[in-house]
């Protein structure tokens, strides 16, 4: 009996060791973010279906409306970063939550293009305020040694929330009953209200007390060439990975590999499930590794991932779906490594008095990537370049690995070395 007890004790100790030792405020923010992610999961996979099938908006206009939301987020991000520095991260988080609450709640009642545009515009404005403020707040309430664990925990919790929300949303909505979509949009809005209430009661302001009169705003941020090299690195990451997983990969799989729609949903679920299970163990595994080494590994993992996708492209139907399931899991490994590394790196590079502007500029890299990536993916899938899509993104991933190795030479050693919470 001794050996099984020792084994059980070892497993239990390992699992308990994965639990990050973080301030209570971080756990509160992560929990609030997970609740709002659950609400987003109710609606995000079904937004285009709702607008086209239920509300009768033409498909090209649906695409334009979704792009309009992303554009609104991009345009307000600069102002949002300034507000974070002048007011506080908490104040701008509440502003972003309020705008998203209004946007999602009204979208459930939108019956035409103008109402949908207004609602999605509010959602985009709210997101543009919320995400830079959230990054600044987490940086303010953690030490350098805690940021990797905090970023990993947040990413895993968000994926868990979105994954569970998508399952629940799929059970609730029906295209034959528009009221079911109104319901899930109202539920989504309610989760933002919950997050706001928690933030008001339990979250510190995160305001930096340094004199801001001496700061030079975005001029200083854009003049920080090391930080801008990291931002451009992330632009290419988002273009070549996240935006393709949401656009060109499902389209290629459904139309050209004849993968059933239900199987595509399972493939994406495999990606989310892997992230939830592997995020904290992988973050722990690389906690002693220089950050640029981990980013280089991200490029290598994604190159391998796209080669798996190429193997999937040689199959059809369920055989292709099986290979794409492997693709989704390997893709998730790259996501875990990136989320454990990049956000803490940006937080360490940011000057405290300009933290909001740094986070807003970093958030722009996501907005730009998500705007440009689907169009590039569409060109590859919809033209004679289609057979080369997988190999093209594999080569981009190799380029990202080389870029990360250059960052190792450019970044200060004190920033590149990854601290960890004992």
Among residues 359, 376, 324, the alpha carbon closest in space to that of 133 is found at 359
What pLDDT does 286 receive?
Answer: 87
Counting beta carbons within 10 angstroms of the beta carbon of residue 219, is it exposed (0 to 12), middle (13 to 18) or buried (19 or more)? Answer: exposed
Superfamily of domain 217-422: MFS general substrate transporter like domains (1.20.1250.20)
CB distance 396 to 388 below 8 Å = no
Among residues 278, 285, 30, the alpha carbon closest in space to that of 154 is found at 30
Sketch the domain layout of the chain as residue ranges: 22-207, 217-422
CB distance 295 to 233 below 8 Å = yes
Decide if domain 22-207 falls under CATH 1.20.1250.20.
Answer: yes
pTM: 0.82
Distance CA 373, CA 377 (A): 6
What pLDDT does 17 receive?
Answer: 54
Compute the C-alpha angle 177/183/184, nearest 5°: 105
What pLDDT does 335 receive?
Answer: 95
| Interacting residues of 172 by C-beta distance below 8 A, sequence separation 6+ | 42, 180, 183, 184
Q: Computed over its alpha carbons, how large is the radius of gyration of the chain?
A: 21
Helix (H, G, I), strand (E, B) or coil at 22: coil
Distance CA 341, CA 149 (A): 10
Distance CA 217, CA 405 (A): 29
What pLDDT does 60 receive?
Answer: 79
Tokens of 362: 């970093």
Mean pLDDT, each 10-residue run in order, the chain (422 residues): 50 51 89 92 81 85 82 87 89 96 95 94 93 90 86 90 85 86 94 94 76 65 93 95 85 86 81 91 89 96 97 94 95 94 91 88 88 83 86 96 94 81 40
| Interacting residues of 114 by C-beta distance below 8 A, sequence separation 6+ | none
Q: Tell me phi and psi for residue 286, to 5 degrees.
A: -105, 15
Please state the separation of Cα 394 from the chain's center in Å. Answer: 21
CB distance 386 to 379 below 8 Å = no
What pLDDT does 52 receive?
Answer: 86
Compute the C-alpha angle 390/271/142, nearest 5°: 115
What pLDDT does 392 receive?
Answer: 95
What pLDDT does 108 receive?
Answer: 93
| Interacting residues of 49 by C-beta distance below 8 A, sequence separation 6+ | 175
Do domains 22-207 and 217-422 share one topology? The answer is yes
């Amino acid at each position: 009996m001794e050996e099984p007890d020792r084994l059980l004790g070892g497993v239990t100790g390992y699992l308990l060791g994965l639990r990050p030792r973080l301030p209570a405020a971080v756990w509160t923010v992560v929990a609030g973010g997970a609740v709002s992610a659950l609400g987003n999961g109710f609606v995000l996979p079904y937004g285009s279906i709702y607008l086209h099938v239920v509300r009768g908006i033409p498909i090209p206009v649906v695409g334009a409306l979704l792009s309009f939301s992303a554009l609104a987020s991009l345009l307000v991000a600069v102002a949002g970063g300034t507000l974070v520095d002048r007011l506080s991260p908490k104040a701008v988080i509440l502003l972003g939550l309020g705008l998203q609450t209004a946007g999602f709640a009204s979208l459930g009642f939108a019956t035409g293009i103008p109402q949908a545009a207004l609602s999605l515009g509010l959602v985009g404005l709210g997101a543009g305020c919320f995400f830079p403020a959230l990054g600044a707040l987490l940086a303010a309430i953690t030490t350098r040694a805690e940021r990797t664990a905090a970023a990993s925990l947040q990413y895993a919790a968000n994926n868990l929330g979105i994954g569970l929300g998508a399952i629940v949303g799929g059970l609730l909505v029906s295209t034959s009953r528009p009221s079911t979509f109104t319901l899930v949009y109202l539920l989504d809005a309610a989760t933002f209200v919950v997050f706001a209430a928690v933030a008001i009661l339990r979250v510190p302001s995160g305001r930096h007390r340094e004199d801001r009169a001496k700061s030079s705003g975005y001029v200083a941020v854009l003049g920080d060439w090391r930080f801008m090299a990291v931002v451009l690195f992330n632009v290419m990451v988002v273009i070549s990975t996240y935006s393709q997983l949401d656009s060109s990969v499902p389209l290629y799989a459904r139309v050209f590999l004849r993968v059933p729609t239900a199987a595509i949903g399972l493939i994406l679920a495999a990606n989310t499930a892997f992230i939830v299970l592997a995020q904290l163990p992988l973050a722990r595994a690389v906690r002693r590794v220089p950050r640029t080494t981990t980013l280089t590994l991200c490029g290598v993992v994604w190159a391998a991932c796209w080669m798996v996708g190429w193997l999937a492209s040689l199959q059809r139907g369920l055989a292709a779906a099986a290979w794409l399931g492997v693709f989704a899991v390997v893709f998730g490994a790259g996501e875990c490594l990136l989320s454990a590394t990049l956000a803490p790196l940006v937080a360490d590079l940011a000057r405290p008095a300009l933290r909001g502007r740094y986070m807003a500029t970093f958030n722009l890299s996501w907005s730009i990537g998500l705007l440009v990536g689907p169009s590039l993916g569409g060109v590859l899938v919809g033209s004679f370049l289609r057979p080369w899509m997988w190999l093209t993104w594999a080569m981009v991933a190799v380029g990202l690995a080389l870029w990360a190795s250059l960052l190792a030479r450019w970044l200060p050693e004190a920033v590149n070395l990854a601290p960890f919470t004992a």
